[in-house]
A and B are shown apart, each in its own frame.
Chain A
Amino acid sequence: MGFRLQLVARPGVTTLIRYVGSRLLQAIPLLIGVVTLIFVLLHLAPGDPTSLWFHPDIPPEVMERMRESMGLDLPLHQQYLHWLKSFFTGDFGYSYSHFRPVSAVIGDALPATLLLGGAALLVAFGVGSAVGAWQAVRRGSPTDSFLTVVTLFLYSMPGFWLGLMLILAASTWLAWLGLPVSGMTSVDHASLGPLGRMSDLAGHLVLPTVALGLGSAAGVARFMRGEMLEAIGQDYVRTARAKGLPEGVVIRRHALRNALLPMVSLLGLYLPILFGGAVVIEVVFSWPGMGRTMYDAVLARDYPLVMATSFLFGLLVIAGNLLADLLYAFVDPRVRYD
């Protein structure tokens, strides 16, 4: 008897592009929402928005130019449209605390935040999944119980406080490690060779990354432990054992692979937490990124810069979620592109 095969082909390039396109289109209303939310906040604030711009250091003509560039002399609905347009063209106005266009300030700060955020994301998901999977494999052992308590504590702890504790440790009983506790580079950074610069940067990255990533790593570990336990109990894991595969292969290739899939969707949940945390961690470690820039802008009442940074944080999260979705579609063969 012949079997009719009705196999679904792997999506071709066009379906993939169409999928990416539709996901991108879905992100646009969200971005408009972010811009609108900031606009609403600004107009809800006491006083006319223009009064917020007032600063004794600014010459009146700069003030006027700023007002014009932000369209604050227009009626509200036109202001809103102007506002939307300026965000989507990347024209965020002029930062008077930096005496430069906002986009230039952000251009300097963004790489630092991406570096820190990326490193923390790696720690969170790398360490977190490893610990959680390890616990699940040794479920019920003393180590599992111990790690359950440790991850719960780390998960419940404020990240900025962990940062301060790390600084305390690095400047007292761990001083021999010579880990830098502030900034992104040393004073002599420019005089170092390419390798020296890299290691200088890496050294500065260690503590902020741990402070930002460890709490999330604990959260990921707690989640991963549950996913892994569930995967280990699945029928296909029993099938793998029944084939005579060594236990290590059963765990890695069959249980772990499946347990890692939901981690990709967890990514979307942790991005806002990581970027929000980055603001405080950057302040703790004087890391010259967007969070630090935003905080300084708040203190200096540099509103164009505050608005632009908060918009960019939203953009980063939305873009990150989009990437996570695409990644998920890539790693899980069951996802249909529709």
Chain B
Amino acid sequence: MTESALLEVRDLAVAFRTGSGEARAVDGISFDVGAGESLGLLGESGCGKSTTALSILQLLPRGASRVEVGSSIRLEGEELLTSSPARMREVRGGEIGIVFQEPMTSLNPVLRAGDQVAEAVRAHSPLDGARLRQRVESLLEQVGLTEPMEVARAWPHQLSGGMRQRVMIAMALAGEPRLLIADEATSALDVTVQAAILDLLDDLRRERGLALLVITHDPAVARRVTNRLVVMYAGRIVEEGETDAVLDSPAHPYTIGLMQSIPDPERPGTRLASIPGTVPSLGDWPPGCRFHPRCARSQARCSERYPPMLDGHSTRAACWLLDESPS
């Protein structure tokens, strides 16, 4: 909660229309992204992390979902949820860029890559003709494409997954945003390509102070590019803190389970533990702490009241185990 927070999300709740009424995919989450900071949002699929990303830019499918009253998303103090559509268009790409997971389907198949980047440039600046072409070329160069003119001329289907994702990043950078949201941006890529893209994101942050909001299900990705980490489970934040602290000495049983379920390169051969049970589906969330049915250390009050965020050893977590007061 620093003074310089670029993006402040407070009590964000998003409801989806389901077969039987409405269900909250995101249920009252709060976090900050400081200028030049890299925040990770870690969680399994269905925990609401992508919904969070889309609701920041108001890109959720219309009609099927709505952001509930009482939520707040502020960009440098400016409330985005009540902004006019025209202002939101300026924010999209101009202040906050976003890169999606699916590099195969996120580019328009019938427009050349360069035209799609040019379109993003033109949405936020009046460049034209040769200067526009130069700008597109330099953007493609900045994202590590060594032959930018050829890529610009190519159709999306002629590019590899990594190249497409670089084009996506170039598009997201075209309006010179201060915050870049990477929504599982590397999940669909090969490991080596993934590493290259993550390095690119990290370079962008270091070199030009671009703040990052990295949404991922992969702790390794989070460790590589984020300073701070927020762990989500079933639409709620369960733990937050410095990335290394969260990953190395987690306090919440869910985070602990998550870390135990990934192989440790330093201790090969150790048996992997997995969390028993499955993630509850949307709208089918248990009362109290949403993790308690799967938690080996759950107590009576876990099924009754949702725990507040409490200070742990080096992180903050929403778990009654950290509560020292008698219940």
Contacts and interface: CB of A to CB of B under 8 A. Distances in A.
The answer to whether A and B assemble together is yes
Interface of A: 1-3, 5-8, 140, 233-236, 238-247, 249, 253-254, 257-258, 261, 331-334
Nearest to B60: A238
10 contacts: A3-B147, A7-B153, A236-B106, A242-B98, A243-B175, A244-B175, A245-B119, A257-B111, A334-B109, A334-B155
A245 B150 contact: no
B174 A1 contact: no
B155 A239 contact: no
Contacts of B111: 253-254, 257
A13 to B, nearest CB: 18
A214 B92 CA distance: 42
A244 B94 contact: yes
A253 B108 CA distance: 10
A333 to B, nearest CB: 4
A16 to B, nearest CB: 17
A236 B157 contact: no
Given A239-B171, A244-B94, 8 more contacts: A3-B163, A140-B63, A234-B105, A236-B108, A243-B175, A244-B89, A253-B111, A332-B110
A246 B90 CA distance: 10
B245 interface: no
Contacts of A235: 100, 102, 105-106
B2 interface: no
B93 A238 contact: no
A3 B102 contact: no
Contacts of B322: none
Given A244-B89, A333-B109, A5 B124 contact: no
Contact of B158 (A8, A242, A246, A247): A8
B20 to A, nearest CB: 20
B62 to A, nearest CB: 10
A282 B110 CA distance: 39
A65 B261 CA distance: 92
B59 interface: yes
B168 A239 contact: yes
Interface residues of B, number: 46
A244 B107 contact: no
B108 A243 contact: no
B151 A241 contact: no
Nearest to B145: A3
A239 B154 contact: no
B226 to A, nearest CB: 21
Interface string B201-215: 000000000000000
Contacts, number: 97
Interface of B: 57, 59, 61, 63, 85, 89-94, 97-98, 100, 102, 105-111, 119-120, 123-124, 144-147, 150-151, 153-155, 157-158, 160, 162-163, 168, 171-172, 174-175, 196
B143 to A, nearest CB: 11
Contact of A242 (B59, B144, B153): B59
Contacts of B155: 333-334
Contact of A243 (B120, B145, B153): B120
Contacts of A247: 85
A244 B109 contact: no
Contacts of A254: 108, 111
Contacts of B90: 244
A313 B287 CA distance: 70
B147 A243 contact: no
Given A8-B158, A235-B106, A257-B110, A242 B57 contact: yes
Contacts of B59: 238, 241-242
Given A1-B196, A5-B147, A236 B107 contact: yes
B196 A243 contact: no
A258 B150 contact: no
A233 B196 contact: no
B119 A243 contact: yes
A86 B168 CA distance: 59
A133 to B, nearest CB: 16
Contact of B93 (A234, A243, A261): A243
A234 B106 CA distance: 8
A239 B100 contact: yes
B154 A244 contact: no
B124 A333 contact: no
Contacts of A246: 89
A238 B105 CA distance: 10
B102 A243 contact: no
A6 B110 CA distance: 19
Contacts of B89: 244-246
A245 B123 contact: yes
A5 B106 contact: no
Contacts of A334: 109, 155, 157
A333 B109 CA distance: 8
A111 B153 CA distance: 42
A235 B54 CA distance: 12
A244 B102 CA distance: 19
Q: Top 3 nearest A-B pairs by Cβ distance?
A: A244-B93, A244-B92, A235-B105
B110 A261 contact: yes
A242 B151 contact: no
B110 A7 contact: no
A237 to B, nearest CB: 8
A243 B57 CA distance: 10
B108 A333 contact: no
A74 to B, nearest CB: 55
A2 B146 contact: yes
A243 B123 contact: yes
B98 A244 contact: no
Given A3-B163, A7-B154, A334-B157, A258 B93 contact: no
A240 B157 contact: no
Nearest to B96: A242
Given A1-B196, A3-B147, A8-B158, A241 B92 contact: yes
Give the most central of A236, A238, A242, A247: most B CB within 10 Å. A242
Contacts of B171: 239, 243
Contacts of A249: 119
